[in-house]
Amino acid sequence: MKQLSRHVRAMLATWAALGVMTAVAAPVEDRASAAMQAGALFEAWRALNLQGTTLVEDKGVYFAQVTLQRQGRLPQELRRQALIELNRLWASHLSADCTTLTDDMHKKAVALGHWQLDVKGNVLYAAEKGDDFVMAFAAKADAVDAKREEACRAMKNPAAFKAIAKDLLTHPERYRTWLRANGARELALLADLKSYEGSLDNVTTPVNPMPSLVKILVKQHEVRAELAEIDPMNGCVTPELVLVLLDQSDKPDLVKLLIDNEIDTFDVQPSGAVSHYGILNQVNRVNGFARFDTRLNAGEPVMMPRIKQLFAAGKDIELATYLLERAVEESPRNPVVWEHLTAAYDFAGKTEQARIARRAWFMTETRDVGTVVREILSLDSRSGAKALTAFINKYIQ
C-alpha cells in the first residue's frame, strides 16, 4: 500500500459507496485484495499514458479519462464537471455498438444523457496537473458490456420513448419531474416558486445565482442528493448527478432552501406601493426569480400592436426592445410582453438579459406548463435545450 499514490488510497475509502469489489464491513483479507486490485488498475491506467479526454479498453478493463482546463475553478467544481463529462463518455460508448439504432435516435440518447453514471467502477485518479484537472476511471469490461446490452435493448425499442410521452400526456403533473431528470432544473425550480403561496423573504443574491441553485441539498428523510455544478453558459446540459431537486411530498421549506443558498426571490409590486424601483429593475435585481403581485396589470399594453408589427417586419428591433421595456412597466403580468422581450434580447445577443426575461415569462404565463416549457426551450440555443425540445416535439404532440 505504501507505494500507491494518495489518490488511490483515497479512492479505496469510496469503494463501499461505489459498490465495486468490497463492502464497508468486508474482512481484512478482502480489503487487502481490493487494495492490490486497485494498485494493478492504477498501474495499468498509468501505463496507457492517456492524453486528453478518452475511453479505451485494455486487458478486460475500460479506462476513461477526462481532462479539463482549471480556469480558476475550485477542485470540487472541477470534479463535478469531470463527472459530467465522464457520464457523456459512457453514454456515447454504451450506445455506440447498437447497430440497429438509427443515427438520429443515437444522437438523441447521448444528448439527453439517457444512461447515467451507474457503471460499477473506480475513480483511480482525480487531481490537478499543471493548468489542467485530470480524472481517471476504471471499470471491468464485463460490467460495461452488460450495461451496453441493457442500454441497446432499451434503445432499439422506440416504444420506450413513446411510453414516456404517453405517460406525460396522461399525467401532466409529472412533467416537472421529467424536466429535472433531463437537466432543466431551473425551470423546475421556477415552477415550484410559481406555485408557492407563502410569503417570500428577500436576501442578497449573487450576480449569477446558477452555481448556488444547484447546491441545494434536498432532504427526503435523509440527504440523498449529490452536488453538480452547472456552468452558467451551459446550464441545462447536466446528467443525473443531482438525484432530486425539489420533491413534491415531504419536501423541505422552499423559502428556506432559497435563502440558505443565496437565491434571491421577490414579490414584484407596483412602483411606489412598497418598492421604489421600477418593475424591470425589481426583476433584474433578483435575476428573474420573482413572483408578480396580482394588483399588477396583465392587460395588453398600448404599444403592443406596434411592437408586433416591428417583429413581423423583422426590423428596428432596437426600437421594439425599447418599447417592450416600457411595456413591462405598463403591464408586468402580461406574458406576451415578456415573451417578446426574451426574443428581442436573444436577437441582440444579450444572453443574461434574455435569461432573466425568460424566467419572468415563465412566472407570468398562465398556460399549461408543458406548452410553455416547449416554447421557452425552443428559444434556448444551448444544446441540452435543443435535444430536449427535439424529443418533446417528436413524441409529445
The whole-angstrom separation of Cα 336 and Cα 338 is 5
Q: What is the mean pLDDT of residues 366-382?
A: 55
- Supply the pLDDT for residue 216: 34
pLDDT in tens, 251-265: 344 444 444 444 555
Largest separation between any pair of C-alpha atoms in the chain: 80
> Which residues are within 8 A (CB) of 144 and not within 5 positions of it... i.e. 6 or more apart?
62, 93, 94, 119
The whole-angstrom separation of Cα 227 and Cα 213 is 10
The whole-angstrom separation of Cα 308 and Cα 288 is 24
- DSSP string covering 195-241, please? H--S--------SS-HHHHTTPPPBSSSB-----PPPGGGTT---TT
- Supply the pLDDT for residue 301: 92
The whole-angstrom separation of Cα 306 and Cα 322 is 12
User: Phi and psi (nearest 5°) for 391?
Assistant: -65, -50
Q: Residue 344 above 50 pLDDT? A: yes
* Lowest-pLDDT choice from 138-147, 159-168, 272-281, 341-350: 159-168
164: left (phi over 0), alpha (psi -120 to 50) or beta: alpha
> Which residues are within 8 A (CB) of 297 and not within 5 positions of it... i.e. 6 or more apart?
330, 331, 332, 333, 334
Whole-number average pLDDT of the chain: 61
- Supply the pLDDT for residue 15: 37
pLDDT in tens, 142-200: 777 776 666 566 555 545 545 555 555 556 555 555 544 544 445 555 666 666 665 55
CB of 119 closer than 8 Å to CB of 147:
yes
* Lowest-pLDDT choice from 7-16, 116-125, 189-198, 269-278: 7-16
pLDDT in tens, 306-343: 988 887 777 777 888 899 999 999 999 998 899 888 87
CB of 219 closer than 8 Å to CB of 252:
yes
Q: Residue 246 above 80 pLDDT? A: no
- How many CA within 13 A on the CB side of residue 296? 26
The domain segmentation of the chain, as residue ranges, is 6-157, 162-395
5: left (phi over 0), alpha (psi -120 to 50) or beta: beta
Nearest to 282 by CA among 380, 366, 214, 200: 200
In degrees, rounded to 5, the angle at the alpha carbon of residue 91 between the alpha carbons of residues 87 and 97 is 150
Share of the chain above pLDDT 90, in %: 5
C-alpha grid cell, residue 198: 407563502
| pLDDT band (50, 70, 90) for residue 91 | low
| pLDDT band (50, 70, 90) for residue 85 | confident
Share of the chain above pLDDT 70, in %: 41
The whole-angstrom separation of Cα 90 and Cα 92 is 5
Strand 132-140 to 266-268 pairing: unpaired
- Supply the pLDDT for residue 337: 92
Q: Residue 1 above 50 pLDDT? A: no
- Distance set, CA 275 to CA 194, 270, 328, 334 (Å): 20, 7, 16, 20
Strand 266-268 to 290-292 pairing: parallel
More confident residue, 375 or 281: 281
Q: What is the mean pLDDT of residues 9-22?
A: 37
| pLDDT band (50, 70, 90) for residue 302 | very high
